[in-house]
Structure formats: C-alpha cells, structure tokens
Structure 1
Amino acid sequence: MPISIDAFDDQPTDVLDLQAGTQPARILEFLAENPDHAFTQTEIHEATGIARGSVGAVLSRLEDRGLVRHRGRYWAVAEDDRLASYAAQTQASSESVTDDYYGDD
C-alpha cells in the first residue's frame, strides 16, 4: 500500500525500519543478541535457518546500511545507536510472547 509523499518525508531517517521475520531482521536480531561475538556465514546460517546462499547477500546489504561489520570470514553487529534500541525492542517483544498472563492455574 503506497503512502503519501508527506508521510514519506515526515518519517525520521534515524529509525531502523526492518520488517519482523524477514531475513535481514532475523540476522540482525541474532547478531544483536550476541554483541560480544562474531560469526561466520555458516554459523549465522545454522543459527537462523536462513539458506546459506542468502546469508552473504543479506549481510552485504546490512553492511551497506552500516548495521553489521566484518573482518575476514567473521561478521558482527555494528556499533550503532539504532541497534541498541532495536535489540531492546526485539527483546521486549520476545519477552511479551513468553509472558504467562494466566498464572499457574
């Protein structure tokens, strides 16, 4: 569904806009949950279930946006303020899914 150009122009540029469940979101979520580690593409594939052939392309697009970084074979989440809020948001979202709203009854 298209949006008006005014709505487009009014959107903040510093907000990280990733569709939940997409390959970029899944990879970024995995890396953001493990900020103290760097992973190979194979390890990212195994952790996320994303096809091996897609992982490299997704990582390259994320790197172009400054969201991940790499050295040699290893990839890690970038140091970006947007990622801290993204990680907090995904953590809060996953906690709400596992909350026990009905108690032990």
Structure 2
Amino acid sequence: MPIDIQSFEEGDEADLRAGGRTNAEEVLAFLASSPDQAYTPSEIHDGTTVARGSLGVVLSRLEDRGLVRHRGDYWAIGDVEALDVTLSSMATARAATERLGAEDPDEWGPGVDDGDESE
C-alpha cells in the first residue's frame, strides 16, 4: 500500500513498516497461519508485504534461528515453541519501544559498550 510523500519523509520509522511489523514478523505470521503447508518464496512474497529482494535474507535468518524450515524450493514454519517465544519477545520489544522510545547508545553513558567497534 503506498503512502504519501510527507509520511515517507517525516513519519516515524515504525510507521513505515506495514502494520508496524518487521519483515521477519510478516513472514512468520504468514507461515504460522497455515502450519500444515509449505510455500515457495514467490508465494510468501505474494502473501506478505515483504519485498522480493529482502525475502531470501529474511528466510535464511529465520532458518538459522530454527523458526522456519527449508526443503527444496519450499519453506514452512519451524519449531512452534521457539516461534511463540520469538513472537512474544518481538511484541514486547515493540511495545516497550512505543512506550519508552527507541534506544540511543549515546545516552548510555561512559563505559557502556554498544557493540560498535568503529570508534
């Protein structure tokens, strides 16, 4: 669904996600809606708002975490228990971010490692 250019330029980044969900959440929700089915990447793309060029990376990362399974040209939902934990964690993190705002590593103070080795 297109958005107006003012929303694109001035909108909150969370608002620029379809339904506020990440690509991973979109794919997981789609696959979890039919746990007895497996889909090709093209079918997953057609059933979600995930860009075709992003889908391969998203699926690979989800597979690395055991959240989806891959066999031949098809993908299916993975370990349902791990999926429940992951989706719950994502929802909690999103709710905290909406309530408290995004983290700013510059505000963490001295001596806190933000994982950025470039400094």
Identify whether the pair has TM-score above 0.5, normalized to the shorter chain.
yes
Task: Tell me, yes or no, if the aligned pair for 1:67 and 1:78 is still in contact at 8 Å.
Answer: yes
- Give the corresponding residue for 2:74: 74
C-alpha separation between the residues in 2 aligned to 1:86 and 1:21?
Answer: 13
Q: Which runs of 5+ in 1 are unaligned?
A: 1-19, 89-105
C-alpha separation between the residues in 2 aligned to 1:42 and 1:56?
Answer: 10
Higher radius of gyration, 1 or 2: 2
C-alpha separation between the residues in 2 aligned to 1:85 and 1:36?
Answer: 20
Larger relative contact order, structure 1 or 2 (CA cutoff 8 Å, min sep 6): 1
C-alpha separation between the residues in 2 aligned to 1:78 and 1:59?
Answer: 11
- Give the corresponding residue for 2:61: 61
Q: After the TM superposition, which segments of 4 or more aligned residues of structure 1 sit over 4 Å from their partners?
A: 84-88
Q: Which runs of 5+ in 2 are unaligned?
A: 1-19, 89-119
**RMSD (CA atoms):** 2.0
- Give the corresponding residue for 1:24: 24
How many residue pairs were aligned? Answer: 69
